[in-house]
Every structure is written in C-alpha cells, then in structure tokens.
Amino acid sequence: MSKLELPATWRCGRFLFDFSQFQRPLVMGILNATPDSFSDGGKFRTVGDVIVRANLMIKNGVDIIDIGGESTRPGAQPVSLQEELDRVLPIIEELKDCGVALSIDTYKAEVMRQALHAGVDCVNDIWALRQEGALEAVLEYSCQSPNKSCGIVLMHMQCDPLTMQFNPKYSDLLAEVSLFLKQRSDLLIAKGVANDCIVVDPGFGFGKTLEHNLKMLADLQYFTGLGYPVLAGISRKSMLGRITGRDTQDRLSASIASVIVAADRGAQIMRVHDVPETMDALKIWKSIQNI
C-alpha cells in the first residue's frame, strides 16, 4: 500500500509524540478499574492489582495508559461520579510519574477535571465532549496550562451505551461518521484548542453492526483525510468474536490481525488490551515499512 500523508505530531499533555520518530502507531494500553468491563472487568480488584498490570505494560513499551473507571460496553449501567473518582484517582496518583502518558477514559466533566489536575495527559471521551460541562472542563485545563494542553480523543457513537446496538442504521456510514468527527473537532478549534491536540476515533462497536465495523476497518484511511491522528480501538471486540466464533479472552490473534490492517490503513494510535503481543506485531509491520 502506498504511504499515506499523516499528521506528524500529537501533543498530549506533558508529551509531544513525533510519529516520524516512532515510524509505527502508538500503543495505548487499556487499564480498567471496573467490575463489569466486557473483557477484563473485575480481573484487577485492587489498586495494587491494577498497578501491577500497568507496570507490565510499561515494561513492554506501552506509549499511553488509558485508565477507565466505568464500563462502556453495550448495555452497561452508568456509575456515580464519586464511585468513578474513587476508582481512578488512586491509580492516577500511583502512575503520574511512571514515565508514559496517562489518559482518562471518561465522559463526566468532573472526572476529567480532577483527573487532569491529578496528572493525566489525555481525555478519551466516547461522547466526544457532548456531555454537560465536558468541553468546558477540557478548555479550562488547556487555558490554565497552555504549554501542556491535554490530548483529546473524540469518538463517534450512535445513541448511548445502553441503546447503541439496537439496530444501528446509516444512510452513508463513512460520510456520517466523518462529518460528526469533523464537526466536533472544528468546534474545539473554534474554542481555541490547538489542532495538534486532537485525535479522532470512528468508534468500532459503538452503534455499528458487524458490516459497519468491517466497512470502517477496510476504509479506515477515509478518516485520515480529516487531518488528525486516527485511533483504532478494536481489541477483543464482539465484531472479532462474530467472525471467529471465539470468546472475549480468546481473541488475541483476531485483535492482532485487526491492528495490522488498521496500521496499513493509516491508524496512528492503537488502543489494546494485549500490549506485548501488539508491540511485537507492530515491530514486524514497522520493519516491512522501512524496506
């Protein structure tokens, strides 16, 4: 495949990622502090368990750790603000000086605000800052700390986690998802956010059928035309189970295959559960790109 013209850098809080130096997509490791996440909910029951998991990611070369305190799987029930804060803030405190970028996976404005002030570098929001106060929380932090403006991941989702998989429909899938992401990123820029802080995520599995997900993966380079790094979050998702017939914990091979397809089509950030295996796969991919 011919080389795509992709963004050169991404400003993410304390970090400025130069993609020309990496020559591979960044790896964002998923760190769930939840009892009900679709893949590893309840597996890491204490802060100590979660930190062990995080340190293993760091040892294996992860670039970003995405900390989540509320499941967003299809049908997930929301948790209270205080419960989410109680789950994520102790983890942020333990990891804030770990040497890799930290991301908070939340849609709640107050969680964003407290996580940013506690030391995270990025806000990863499935609602693309559409919930009350979320945009203001990010702008407030960026204005107070202009030299380390947080990274912002804007994701597309049809409906909400409780209803998003109830017969999702699109007239033109790629155009509709792309337009949504453009409108949200344009709004941020109009509010003063630097364009090199923004990442877009088409939202695999969030209000899409299997056919929709496959179409987005096959044509992922369509979204690179927006001018921002594209994040691909496909790891262990049900679309892979539908194709392979395998349970969540047995989708490593399928997840790796999807990472390589996404990399070939221009994704610059991979959000994954299996960091060492993904890193190995991307090293092989990178070696081929360098020939």
β-pairing, 151-155 with 122-125?
parallel
Q: Which residues contact 117 (CB under 8 A, 6 or more apart)?
A: 141
Tally of CB atoms within 10 A around 62 = 25
Q: Tell me which residue of 286, 290, 254 sits closest to 273, measured CA to CA.
A: 254
* 184, 237, 251, 265: the active-site residue: 237
The single residue listed with the structure tokens 């559409």 is 130
User: What is the C-alpha to C-alpha distance for residues 70 and 112, in angstroms, rounded to an integer?
Assistant: 13
Catalytic residue at 242?
A: no
Find the length of the chain: 291
β-pairing, 101-105 with 64-68?
parallel
Under the phi-then-psi rule, with left for phi > 0, alpha for psi from -120 to 50, and beta for the rest, what region is 187?
alpha
Instruction: Give how far Cα 87 sits from Cα of 31, 52, 68, 107, 291, Å.
Output: 11, 15, 8, 15, 45
* 87, 184, 265, 271: the active-site residue: 271
SS3 content of the chain, % helix, strand, coil (to 5): 45, 15, 40
Catalytic residue at 59?
A: no
Are 275 and 55 spatial neighbours (Cβ–Cβ below 8 Å)? no
Question: Active-site residue numbers?
Answer: 237, 271
